[in-house]
């Protein structure tokens, strides 16, 4: 590992590294054979105060691959625990991701720069610490698609090919992803210290998270209660946003739920094509624990895990602490419902009266019965709202086009914001078949063209893109993807 004195790209200021040593392992990334930059996210680089052209230099590729530790970088792997599919694992941690440092972006927000696939750490267990190209590109596409949809998410600054192979179901090309997050603390980070009865660390972590993400909590009568309330509110809002674009996270383990309220960990995630509340794509979710419509329930479950860890901080006695935790948790359901219903009625240009919600829920029922494409139904309704002649385009998405006979006039009768609909109903989502095609071209043929084009389309999801209509269409029967894989 070489340390370079060349002018630093990143102006690091590392707050996590100032926390007690038991929060992490200090470890440098393991160099790779032949780093070569696949892509840099120029708009995100600018947001981070970086010159995108500086990021395309060989020196930058070496830093982003983990071959060079940049000046000011203090690489570390974070310790965390987590409930995986409901089972507690007291030690998980960054087994293949290394935080190389934090920067302050142009809005004054502190952002983590993480290298995913950067080599083994103390937390790697049997893993190789590496990432394969396919899952790296998948995370790049889906995280940036989410950001463009206006959904809180970790971002992707760059992808670098390693020139090495990783062993998965066979030998696959390796890559490193530079992930950017407002923070990487997870529900599982709190669980790590709670499982060790390390109250001092819990308090330090909570204070850290409050200062970084929810500074207003410091003024509250009970800052830790206010903090729990804030995380609950952020997650209720996030999960509502997922549902409103048909997103299925796929592995909502507590180690994959951030304190910041950002979507994290794009493993077997997927956007659904036709509307089916029970939809599951993940190959490892046989029982549908993380099915589309189960996500709010699981969000609640995960937040209960967080609330339990905070009990010692919430009050003087355990009994009072539990009461505080329960009161806080009671807000999750109503907050989620309110955010979801508001978003759903807005998607239909409706108001917030009970009749409006009933109308929206009725549409969902009809969509499920008729295997109507989720994204396209709402997008075409946005067009039909402005031009009734376009109702035929909506009907044609339903197995029985007559299913909407009563619904359409009822909706038109209550419609009040036709103009606003397009801005909340994307034309383009990261459809599974498009993602798979882009990944296959890159991994099999070394052709990054489809990846580049798809990314371009998905970063403007609300714009009509003439000539790119095919990216907005549901898969043909032979293109349907039924399973997605973690690829770790
Ligand atoms: P994930 O499924 O990505 O949320 O990861 C769950 C846990 O497995 C985390 O502690 C990861 O760091 C670890 N892990 C996943 N893949 C690897 C790998 N290839 N090498 C080492 N650790 C891994
Ligand atoms: Mg994870």
Cα(279)–Cα(247) distance, rounded to whole angstroms? 10
Q: Which residue has the tokens 């009161």?
A: 327
Residue nearest to atom 10 of ligand 1 (CA): 92
pTM over 0.85: yes
Region for residue 68 given its phi and psi (left: phi exceeds 0; alpha: psi -120 to 50; beta: otherwise): beta
Give the chain's mean pLDDT. Answer: 96
Provide residues with CB under 6 Å of ligand 1: 92-96, 123-124, 127-130, 251, 255-256, 265, 267, 486, 488
Average pLDDT over residues 151-163: 98
**pLDDT of 287 over the 50 cut:** yes
- 222-272 per-position pLDDT tens digit: 999 999 999 999 999 999 999 999 999 999 999 999 999 999 999 999 999
Q: Which atom of ligand 1 is nearest to the CA of 128?
A: 20
Ligand 1: distance of its center to the CA of 96 in Å?
Answer: 6
Cα(168)–Cα(162) distance, rounded to whole angstroms? 16
**pLDDT of 463 over the 50 cut:** yes
Where along the chain do its domains lie? Answer: 2-181, 350-419
| Residue 4: predicted pLDDT | 44
Average pLDDT over residues 80-100: 98
Average pLDDT over residues 287-291: 96
**pLDDT of 214 over the 80 cut:** yes
- 402-435 per-position pLDDT tens digit: 999 999 999 999 999 999 999 999 999 999 999 9
Confidence band, pLDDT 50/70/90 cuts, at residue 484: confident
Lowest mean pLDDT among 104-113, 404-413, 477-486: 477-486
Phi, psi of 180 (to 5 degrees): -120, 130
Average pLDDT over residues 366-385: 98
**pLDDT of 486 over the 80 cut:** no
**Catalytic member of 255, 265, 285, 373:** 255
Confidence band, pLDDT 50/70/90 cuts, at residue 3: very low
Contacts of 23 (CB under 8 A, 6+ apart): 16, 78, 79, 201, 204, 205
| Residue 485: predicted pLDDT | 82
Confidence band, pLDDT 50/70/90 cuts, at residue 169: confident
């Amino acid at each position: 590992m070489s340390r370079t004195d060349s002018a630093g790209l990143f102006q690091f200021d590392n707050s996590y590294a100032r926390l007690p040593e038991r929060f992490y392992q200090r470890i440098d990334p393991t160099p790779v054979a032949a780093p070569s930059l696949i892509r840099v996210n120029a708009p995100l680089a600018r947001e981070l105060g970086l010159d995108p052209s500086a990021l395309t230099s060989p020196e930058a590729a070496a830093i982003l691959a983990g071959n060079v530790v940049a000046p000011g970088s203090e690489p570390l792997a974070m310790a965390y625990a987590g409930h995986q599919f409901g089972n507690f694992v007291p030690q998980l941690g960054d087994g293949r991701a290394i935080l190389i440092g934090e920067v302050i972006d142009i809005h004054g927000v502190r952002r983590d720069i993480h290298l995913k696939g950067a080599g083994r750490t103390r937390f790697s267990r049997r893993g190789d610490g590496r990432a394969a190209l396919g899952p790296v590109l998948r995370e790049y596409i889906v995280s940036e698609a989410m950001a463009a949809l206006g959904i809180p998410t970790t971002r992707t600054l760059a992808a670098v090919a390693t020139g090495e192979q990783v062993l998965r179901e066979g030998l696959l090309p390796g890559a490193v992803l530079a992930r950017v997050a407002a923070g990487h603390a997870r529900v599982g980070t709190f669980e790590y210290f709670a499982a060790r009865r390390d109250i001092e660390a819990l308090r330090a972590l909570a204070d850290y998270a409050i200062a970084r993400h929810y500074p207003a909590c410091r003024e509250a009568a009970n800052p830790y209660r206010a903090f729990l309330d804030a995380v609950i509110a952020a997650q209720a809002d996030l999960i509502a946003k997922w549902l409103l674009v048909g997103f299925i996270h796929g592995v909502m383990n507590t180690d994959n739920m951030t304190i910041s309220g950002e979507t994290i960990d794009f493993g077997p995630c997927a956007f659904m094509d036709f509307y089916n509340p029970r939809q599951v794509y993940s190959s490892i979710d046989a029982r549908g624990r993380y099915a589309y419509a189960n996500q709010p329930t699981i969000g609640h479950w995960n937040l209960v895990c967080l609330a339990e860890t905070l009990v010692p901080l919430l009050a003087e006695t355990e009994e009072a602490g539990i009461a505080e935790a329960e009161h806080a948790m009671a807000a999750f359901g109503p907050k989620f419902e309110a955010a979801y219903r508001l978003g759903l009625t807005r998607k239909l240009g409706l108001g917030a009266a009970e009749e409006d919600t009933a109308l929206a829920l009725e549409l969902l029922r009809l969509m499920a019965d008729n295997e109507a494409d989720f994204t396209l139904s709402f997008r075409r309704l946005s067009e039909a709202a402005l031009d009734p002649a376009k109702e035929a385009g909506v009907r044609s998405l339903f197995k029985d086009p007559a299913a909407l006979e009563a619904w359409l006039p009822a909706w038109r009768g209550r419609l009040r914001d036709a103009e606003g609909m397009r801005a909340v109903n994307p034309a383009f989502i990261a459809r599974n078949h498009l993602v798979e095609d882009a990944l296959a071209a890159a991994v099999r043929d070394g052709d990054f063209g489809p990846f580049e084009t798809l990314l371009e389309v998905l970063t403007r999801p609300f714009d009509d893109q003439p000539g790119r209509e095919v990216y907005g269409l549901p898969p043909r029967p032979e293109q349907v993807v039924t399973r997605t894989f973690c690829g770790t």
